[in-house]
Amino acid sequence: MARRNLDSYPRPGVTVDLAVLTVTDAGTDDAALRVLVQERTDPDGRVLPGRFLRERHTVVDTVQEVFEHKVGVSPSEVTPPRLLRLFDAPDRDDRTWAISVAHSVSMPEAELEGAKGDLVAVSSDGVLADRGPMLWDHEEIVSAAVESLRERYEFRYRNDSPPPDPDGFLPEPFTLHQLRKVHEAVIGEELHKDNFARRMKPQLTPVMRGGEVVKSAAHRGRPATLYRRVTSPDSQPVNTLG
Amino acid sequence: MARRNLDSYPRPGVTVDLAVLTVTDAGTDDAALRVLVQERTDPDGRVLPGRFLRERHTVVDTVQEVFEHKVGVSPSEVTPPRLLRLFDAPDRDDRTWAISVAHSVSMPEAELEGAKGDLVAVSSDGVLADRGPMLWDHEEIVSAAVESLRERYEFRYRNDSPPPDPDGFLPEPFTLHQLRKVHEAVIGEELHKDNFARRMKPQLTPVMRGGEVVKSAAHRGRPATLYRRVTSPDSQPVNTLG
DNA sequence: ACAATAGTGTCTATCAGACAATATGGC
DNA sequence: GCCATATTGTCTGATAGACACTATTGT
Which of A 191-230 have CB under 7 A of nucleic chain C? 192, 194-195, 198-199, 215, 218-223
Say if domain B176-239 classifies as CATH 1.10.1740.
no
Contacts of B242 (CB under 8 A, 6+ apart): B82, B148, B151, B152, B236
Q: What is the CATH number of domain B11-153?
A: 3.90.79.10
Contacts of B169 (CB under 8 A, 6+ apart): B22, B23, B26, B106, B107, B108, B109, B182, B186
Mutate to test the interface with B, among A14, A52, A57, A241 (most CBs of B within 10 A): A241
Q: Is A69 on the interface with B (CB under 8 A)?
A: no
Q: Which residue of A has its CA nearest to B140?
A: A240
Nearest to A11 among B14, B84, B85 (CB): B14
Contact B88 A52 (CB under 8 A): no
A:34-53 residues touching chain B, CB 8 A cutoff: 52-53
Domain ranges in chain B? 11-153, 176-239
Which of B 159-218 have CB under 7 A of nucleic chain C? 175-177, 193-194, 197, 201
* pTM exceeds cut of 0.85: yes
- Residues A205 and A172 sit within 8 Å (Cβ to Cβ): no
Rounded average pLDDT per 10-residue block, chain B, 242 residues: 65 96 94 96 91 95 96 88 94 90 96 95 83 86 94 69 89 94 93 92 89 79 91 50 43
Pick the closest to residue B50 from B87, B90, B77 (CA basis): B87
Give pLDDT tens digits along chain A (242 positions): 445 566 678 999 999 999 999 999 998 999 999 999 999 998 889 999 999 999 999 999 999 999 999 999 988 878 899 999 999 999 888 889 999 999 999 999 999 999 999 999 998 777 887 867 898 889 999 999 999 999 899 876 545 677 899 999 999 899 999 999 999 999 998 899 999 999 899 889 999 887 778 887 767 788 999 999 986 444 444 444 43
